[in-house]
Structures are given as structure tokens and as C-alpha cells.
Chains A and B, each alone.
Chain A
Amino acid sequence: ADVTWNVSLWGKRRAFTEHVEKLAEEVKARTNGAFEIKLHYGGALSKSRENLDGISFGAFEMAQFCASYHADKNPTLTVLELPFLGVSDLETEVKVSKALYEHPAVQQDLGRWNAKLLMPSPMPQYNFAGKGDVPASISDFEGMRVRALGGLGKLMEAAGAVPTSVTASETYQAIDSGTVQAAGFAPHAHLSFKVVEVADWWTKNLNPGTVHCPVVVNVDAYNALSDEFKAALDESVDPAIAHYLDTYAAVYDKWWPELENRGITQIEFSDDELASFSEKAGPIHAAWVEEQSANGLPAQEILDMVKKTIAE
């Protein structure tokens, strides 16, 4: 290969990394193998939290991370993690992510890290799976110990729940033993952290929000690419995302039967209940705008743009 790029990923190869796999494949095909993208799993090149650091000084050319791992490293991206934005599916999330990546303030934010946003890794909505009494209404969350980090934790706190520190890998035991009663994850994570094995219920339509996990490239490395390679990379993004969405759909082919087989109650909240839940999100949106405006970001403009794109 004439050009070799290294990609820093954490964990194993999974649905969450399939777009990067596909991207490497497409780029290789488009350049007849002259541009090679090498994937490094398991945090071999960096811990997930330090992927932006590694990008900033050019230790690797591409990396994936989640905005919520370090909100203050990427304040503009956290807009997509605000609760109750109304993102209903992954396609919408791709659309709004791409729009956000075009915003100059966002590019400037990531530019501090010498990073350019390449593509999102759209994540399904986080929902709660828990053990014990099935919460029929929002008030049933009162006093419930839940594993919910960051913004989701704030939302649950506003609903009267008690956010409790538990690492992801300890969640299964924590729910089993009653250390926490419920945990918020995307469905595939409920599967991989085995929460489904101890859960009695799942909040099917709460859809409070999700995390935003982009793939970025090092700006210098990108600019150093020949026009042909640049085009190959850019043109590979859409097929990569399409492949990713297909893979995620397959995850859900496992998810629904899993819930059925385990007899897990799927809670569908009424519109009234959902409305009273999303009311709690209002102050959180406002607080975000206030904080980020104070940091000199056009926060209201970004939030409005996001909401408008989702509504379109």
C-alpha cells in the first residue's frame, strides 16, 4: 500500500464498528489496495477516552469515540446527547449528525484536536431494563436506583430516580443483587452486558436519548491525501453507513425474540406519561444552552438547527 492509516478502536469487532470495517474495504477496492486502512481493536493504540488525544498529535489517523466519555473535550457534540430530542430511528440520527458536522462551530470545536468528523456511529435510543416491580408511570421511578450516566442520569434525577455509580461490566451483578434496580443502555448493550438475563421489564417507548459516537480523522493526514484517495475515502462513507444500518437491523432480529423468550414486560408509556417525562427535559436543554453560550458557543443556534433537522 502507498498509504496506510491506523484506526484506534476499543472492544471487539461488533455491530458498532462494522462501518469502519466496511469503510476500509471500500477504500481498498476504490484504490486497488493503494490506500490501506488498518483497524486496531481492544484499545491497542489508545484507551477510548484518549482517542481524541491520540488524533491530536497524530499517533493514528482515524479513531472512534463517544462524546459523553468526555463532554468537555467536545462540548458541541453533546447537543445530540440531550434528552428527548425526538430522534425516532437511526436514519434520522445519521441525517442530524451530518448536518451537525457541517456547522462551523462544531468543526472548530473538533479542530482544536486536529480532528475532522468523518461519519457518525448512530446508536439506538437508550432504554431502561430493570428488575422488580414494573414502573407503570413516571412516578414509579421515584427513589429507584438506576445506572444512568451524564445527561441521562440528570434526566432520571429530575424524575426522582437515584443515579448510582456502577461500571458497565458490573451492571449485571448490580441489578441481580439489587445494588441498582435498572440500567439504561441501548439494546445491544443490554444484550452484551447480559442485563436481559436478570431484567423483568424494559421501557419500550421511553426513548429518552442516546450517546453520540463519531469516527474522526486527523486533519493533517486527511489533507496530505491525494485527491484520488480523498475522494475514495469520502465516497466510501455512505456505503459504510448503509452497511452499518443493515448490521444494526440484524441486532434487533435477536433483540425482540430475546425479550419474548425471557418473558420481559415491554412497557409502553401513554402519550401523557411521555409528555410529562419530556417536560423534565426542557430545563436540561436550557441549562445546556446557558452553559455552552457562556463558553462562547452559538449554543441556541446549534440546538435550533438540530431540532429543525430532526423535524424535517
Chain B
Amino acid sequence: MTNPDPGGRSDPERPATYIRFDGMLGYVENGFNLIAAFSILSLMLLAVAQVLGRLVLNAPIPGFIDITEQAMAIFAFMGVAYCQRVGGHIRMEIVLGKLHGRTLYICEMLGVILIAFTVALLIWGSWFHFDRSWNFGDSTMDIRLPTWPSKLVIPVALSVLFLRLLLQIYGYARLVANPDRDPVGVPVIHDVEEVAKHEIEEALGDDAGKGGAK
């Protein structure tokens, strides 16, 4: 099996179907995160245009605040599944860090099940929120942009997260069944040193974080 894995994970003993779904979902997640990244870049350019337009041309962008607010749903939500995949949502690892083997995987699995339950209900609730704005109407305060597109982003992004969580539940379940398997598709727990290494990579770029002390 040589499915490309966008997360860069590899494993000798790969459950094929699972890996394939994981890979496809990975592409979707990466794409969503890319959209979020570009929405940030666009927001920055829009704000620069707003300032210059106002100061230089006396022509600010009409409804700048309305546009910014509605667009915020993109970078606030589109990367949520990607962030879960790479273990980016913060947590305390004081207790988990002490656990090993099956106990650890059971705890991790229960944690993800709890998240999946929450996210499922939130998808439902946020869909209702979208549905009201779609059926009854809703618009922003200044230039009356419809709010439903922005409200739709939430159940969509959370649905991708939900799929990711299902995969992680499966990933932990197969480790609970046999803790000696290599972990696939689940973020491995980092101790503080590894967290630090990640932070360094993020601050200095790919080539860093290997501890080059030259």
C-alpha cells in the first residue's frame, strides 16, 4: 500500500481502508486550513486597503467591519479538524503523560469519544442556527450582508472535525485491542521537550528544531 499521507505519517502495519480514509480526509483538512490561511492574508490586505483608502483617497471600504466579521468564520473554523489531527488543541498532559500502554489508549479513546459526542451535538445546534438565518432571514448591521454563508461554515467545518474524531476513535480502539501496534492516525503524546521542539520549528522554520547549535 502506498497511499500518500498528507500528515507525513508512515507505518509498517497499515490498516489499508483506514489509511485511505485518513489520507483523503487529510487532503480535505489541509485544503480547509489553506483556505483559512489565505483568508488571514486577505483580511490583512483588506485592512491595509481600508486604511490607505481612508487616509489617502477618502474612500474607505463600505461595510469593512461587516465584511471582516463575516469572513472571520473562515479562519476561526476551517482549520479546526487540521488542528485536531496534529494535536494542536491545547490540553494538560500531567496525568496522561504518566500513563502507558492500554490504560493510556483507553483514556485517549474516551477523551475523543467525549469530544465527538460534543461536536455531533454542536453540528446539530449550529445547523439550526444556520437554518434560521436561511429560512427567516438575517443580515449584518451596516451593509446588510446575509449571514447564512458564514453560519454555514460552522456545521461544515465541525463535520470534517467529526469525521477526524471518528477516525481517531478507531485509531485508539485498535491500540486498545493491541497496545503493541504502531499508532496510526492518532496524535502521539508529546512530553515537554517535544512540545518545545515543535515550538522551535514553528518559530524558526522547517530546518530548525533539530537542535543545530552552530
Q: Do chains A and B touch in the complex (CB under 8 A)?
A: yes
Q: Which A residues contact B (CB, under 8 angstroms)?
A: 53, 56-57, 68-73, 75, 112-113, 143, 145, 149-150, 153, 162-167, 179
Sort chain B's interface into a size bin. Answer: 20 to 34
Question: In the complex, which residues of chain A have a beta carbon less than 8 angstroms from the beta carbon of B63?
Answer: 165
> Contact at A150–B144, with CB atoms within 8 Å?
yes
Q: A164-B60, A165-B66 are in contact. Are A56 and B132 (CB under 8 A)?
A: yes
B99 CB, min distance to chain A CBs, angstroms: 38
Question: In the complex, which residues of chain B have a beta carbon less than 8 angstroms from the beta carbon of A179?
Answer: 54
> What CA separation (Å) do A153 and B63 show in the bound complex?
10
Question: In the complex, which residues of chain B have a beta carbon less than 8 angstroms from the beta carbon of A70?
Answer: 138-141, 147
> Contact at A72–B138, with CB atoms within 8 Å?
yes
> What CA separation (Å) do A16 and B138 show in the bound complex?
24
13 A-B residue pairs with Cβ-Cβ distance under 8 Å, sorted by A, are A56-B136, A57-B128, A72-B138, A72-B139, A72-B144, A145-B60, A149-B142, A162-B60, A164-B60, A165-B61, A165-B64, A165-B66, A166-B65
> What CA separation (Å) do A56 and B59 show in the bound complex?
40
> Contact at A53–B54, with CB atoms within 8 Å?
no
> What CA separation (Å) do A153 and B59 show in the bound complex?
14
> What CA separation (Å) do A236 and B126 show in the bound complex?
37
Q: Does B62 contact A (CB under 8 A)?
A: yes
Interface residues of B in 50-108 (CB under 8 A from A): 50, 54, 58-66
Question: In the complex, which residues of chain B have a beta carbon less than 8 angstroms from the beta carbon of A163?
Answer: 62, 142
Which of the residues B50, B64, B141, B146 comes within 8 Å of A68, measured between beta carbons? B141
Which of the residues B58, B59, B136 comes within 8 Å of A113, measured between beta carbons? B136
Which of the residues B58, B64, B139 comes within 8 Å of A162, measured between beta carbons? B58
Q: Does B149 contact A (CB under 8 A)?
A: no
Question: In the complex, which residues of chain A have a beta carbon less than 8 angstroms from the beta carbon of B66?
Answer: 165
> What CA separation (Å) do A68 and B144 show in the bound complex?
10
Q: A72-B146, A149-B142 are in contact. Are A112 and B60 (CB under 8 A)?
A: no
The 3 A-B pairs with the shortest beta carbon distances in the complex, nearest first, are A72-B137, A72-B139, A165-B64
Residue of A at shortest CB range from B67?
A165
Interface residues of B in 12-58 (CB under 8 A from A): 50, 54, 58
> What CA separation (Å) do A56 and B128 show in the bound complex?
11
Which of the residues B60, B129, B136 comes within 8 Å of A73, measured between beta carbons? B136
> Contact at A167–B54, with CB atoms within 8 Å?
no
Question: In the complex, which residues of chain A have a beta carbon less than 8 angstroms from the beta carbon of B137?
Answer: 72-73, 75
Interface residues of B in 130-154 (CB under 8 A from A): 132, 136-142, 144, 146-147
Question: In the complex, which residues of chain A have a beta carbon less than 8 angstroms from the beta carbon of B50?
Answer: 165
A40 CB, min distance to chain B CBs, angstroms: 20
Question: In the complex, which residues of chain B have a beta carbon less than 8 angstroms from the beta carbon of A113?
Answer: 136
> Contact at A150–B138, with CB atoms within 8 Å?
no
> What CA separation (Å) do A71 and B147 show in the bound complex?
11
> What CA separation (Å) do A153 and B139 show in the bound complex?
16
Residue of B at shortest CB range from A148?
B142
> Contact at B65–A165, with CB atoms within 8 Å?
yes
Residue of A at shortest CB range from B128?
A57
> Contact at A167–B65, with CB atoms within 8 Å?
yes
B127 CB, min distance to chain A CBs, angstroms: 13
> Contact at B54–A145, with CB atoms within 8 Å?
yes
Q: A73-B138, A143-B58, A162-B60 are in contact. Are A53 and B144 (CB under 8 A)?
A: no
> What CA separation (Å) do A113 and B132 show in the bound complex?
9
> What CA separation (Å) do A58 and B61 show in the bound complex?
38
> Contact at B65–A71, with CB atoms within 8 Å?
no
Question: In the complex, which residues of chain B have a beta carbon less than 8 angstroms from the beta carbon of A143?
Answer: 58
Question: In the complex, which residues of chain A have a beta carbon less than 8 angstroms from the beta carbon of B142?
Answer: 149-150, 153, 163, 165
